[in-house]
Structure 1
């Protein structure tokens, strides 16, 4: 089944909700980055959040970046998404290995440990919007819940999950973001809080092969869920040799000349999709002519 997101409202528009299934894109990320199980879980959660948060943006060319800088052994993660829910990302240390936590689950919290979550929204203005919060648990969903409450003043419930097969491929991945609108009345707020507490875990829902629609029905059914839109989401990197050429030109004549003087081809790696671009010395000479 192709990955997708559903956007919904409930309780007469007092609640807005997004739910996603992201197994294919998380497995694609695992395969290109060769991530360990705990790194796959961490990156998969952030990619899932990025795809949903990207789809919340309105402008055609709006871009979202989720960045975690942390002092745990994973050393940090970066995910970017556009408003069409195309998403890509990487972890700084894809090989991190840790024993399971006390519940026998992949210990994402320990892999991240203390750190900062940055949410950067580039909406074509002079300066991008940057919101930052400290990691509250390192489990990513709780950290984003805290971010929405403190930086955007939007009471939210975020759930993100990645389930692995015994051969370390991705079995299931997905999640939801449920948000209260500013005009939500007290009865809706308190009932939703109760309902969220009743949810055992997103992973158990994913393990039961529940679709995004079924997940939202289970959580918000009593509030009258209305599915507004279904959005395809996928792992997509827009790097190209032309873009890398522009990046090399931008570093300036002096550095390009030093590369040429080394008389060896250079190799530039894209962090997001692990593609290597090789530039021969003659190509570097052409780029030198174009640089300032």
Structure 2
């Protein structure tokens, strides 16, 4: 597996940790949406976080949605993930181009803007769990760190990174999430904070040849680590012509009739993977026959 997520515990289970390598996942998203470099970086960071947060969920049918609704020219980001490491997502404006930030890097915060992060977990209950926080830096990793602390009361450290090639393809992508359990000792927390402050950027570590495992070893330096799981991760969309047909059935006879009367084929687009589905007038008539 080229892209994967590892799960681990450390310090006698006082710490749980996740790390992911997501270069192919982010490159697949870039190709699907033809995103600009800054849009790829922003979407890639949230896809990486979504993949790791997805595998935190227990149920096979559990679905996580991360939504950033903000004022920047990117016009928001939406990512959904499942518990098997499959993730998909899109940005509102994939072509956004803005100047580099004062460090000469892609200005993700400027592209995202001021706004909100929504986290929705659909675990098959009557109501999905929903948490919302104000974006703190709009760099995404820090915003998720804040979300975990405020909405889930879990002190966490989140690191995310996407590095682009000169030809706008993805050079590196990955990240980590470290979480402290309620029974963690002060000494453990202090050592973790010290480690996180010392750590270089995720993309620097990946460029040095780090794997998901050695990313965690770097962040958890000085702790005993037990790797408990390794899960493949990929950009995956479960849309199909059949699913789109069901959506057309749901709009009702009146609207379908109007489409047929126009006498033109209808093209529908999947936001998540940018696939277009074309229905001829004959196919629309067949769908109308299936409507009650």
Could you state the TM-score of these two structures normalised by the residue count of structure 2? 0.98
Partner residue in 1 for 2:82: 82
Shift, 1:274, TM fit: 1.3
Shift, 1:291, TM fit: 2.1
Q: 1:227 aligned to 2:231?
A: no
Q: 1:47 aligned to 2:47?
A: yes
1:206-221 alignment to 2 at 5 Å? Answer: 206-221=206-221
Q: 1:5 aligned to 2:12?
A: no
Partner residue in 2 for 1:269: 269
Give the stretch that moved more between structures: 29-38 or 217-226: 217-226
1:69-108 alignment to 2 at 5 Å? Answer: 69-108=69-108
Shift, 1:52, TM fit: 0.3
* Post-superposition CA distance 1:179-216 (Å, at most 9, x none): 00011011111111111111121121111120011111
Q: 1:254 aligned to 2:264?
A: no
Query: Quick one: distance in 1 between partners of 2:150 and 2:84?
Result: 26
Partner residue in 2 for 1:283: 283
Partner residue in 2 for 1:140: 140
**1:183 partner SS:** coil
Partner residue in 2 for 1:184: 184
Query: Quick one: distance in 1 between partners of 2:115 and 2:250?
Result: 32
- Number of residue pairs the alignment of both structures matches: 292
Query: Quick one: distance in 2 between partners of 1:90 and 1:207?
Result: 26
Query: Quick one: distance in 2 between partners of 1:186 and 1:289?
Result: 67
Give the stretch that moved more between structures: 216-225 or 103-112: 216-225
Computed over aligned residues only, the root mean square deviation of the Cα atoms, in angstroms, reads: 0.9
Could you state the TM-score of these two structures normalised by the residue count of structure 1? 0.98
- Ranges in structure 1 where 5+ consecutive residues have no aligned partner: none
* Post-superposition CA distance 1:128-148 (Å, at most 9, x none): 111111111110000100110
Give the stretch that moved more between structures: 22-31 or 279-288: 279-288
Query: Quick one: distance in 1 between partners of 2:177 and 2:283?
Result: 47
Contact 2:195 2:221 in 1 (8 A): no
Give the stretch that moved more between structures: 212-221 or 158-167: 212-221
